[in-house]
Amino acid sequence: LVYLREQTQVWLELTTLLIPGENDTEAELNEMTRWVVANLGPDVPMHFTAFHPDWKMRDKPPTSPQTLTLARDIAAANGVHFAYTGNVHDRRGGSTYCAHCGGLLIERDWYQLGQWNLDSTGNCTSCGTPCPGRFESAPGTWGARRLPVRMGR
């Protein structure tokens, strides 16, 4: 991960599937998020996603929304600027907020975009602080439908 962050031009985001009893203790979340800030920087987005007991791993309960919120709160307390919850309905946990003024930048409700408070260059419209990432000048209009993605050269 450090190599990707320091030696390449890829946009890096991290996703952690939180499985109850496996990787969801406060100590583990503190250690992980502190490592990310120290080694990758505070602007690397972290996504904490809910586990659902499906297919071959049915012996664990689903991740609670409270655990996801706790993970997000721990990440923020340890300096992660952009921490999100996923695989649950959590408008606040799925939205992006300005690291400087705290204003809502991109409102997300599952796959639906709501408010878009970035200017055409990706800066917060309230305070002018750049939001790290790669953004179009305006939000997409595809709604909640799923579209195929093809990777190419």
Q: Which two tokens stand for residue 62?
A: 């689903």
Name the residue ranges covered by the structural domains of the chain. 2-94, 102-145
Query: Do 59 and 95 contact (CB within 8 A), yes or no?
Result: no
Q: How would residue 153 be classed by pLDDT, with cut points 50, 70 and 90?
A: low
Nearest Cα to Cα of residue 4 among 48, 47, 46, 39: 39
- Residue 144, C-beta contacts closer than 8 angstroms, at least 6 positions apart: 110, 111, 112
What are the strands of the beta sheet with 83-86, ordered from one edge? 14-18, 46-50, 83-86
Least confidently predicted of 39-48, 60-69, 109-118 = 109-118
**Confidence (pTM):** 0.90
Classified by CATH at the fold level, domain 2-94 comes out as: D-tyrosyl-trna(Tyr) Deacylase; Chain: A; (3.50.80)
What mean pLDDT do residues 55-66 have? 94
Question: Could you read off the pLDDT of 65-123 as tens digits, one per residue?
Answer: 999 999 999 999 999 999 999 999 999 999 999 999 999 999 998 888 999 999 999 99
What mean pLDDT do residues 27-49 have? 98
Distance CA 24, CA 69 (A): 11
pLDDT at 138 (0 to 100):
80
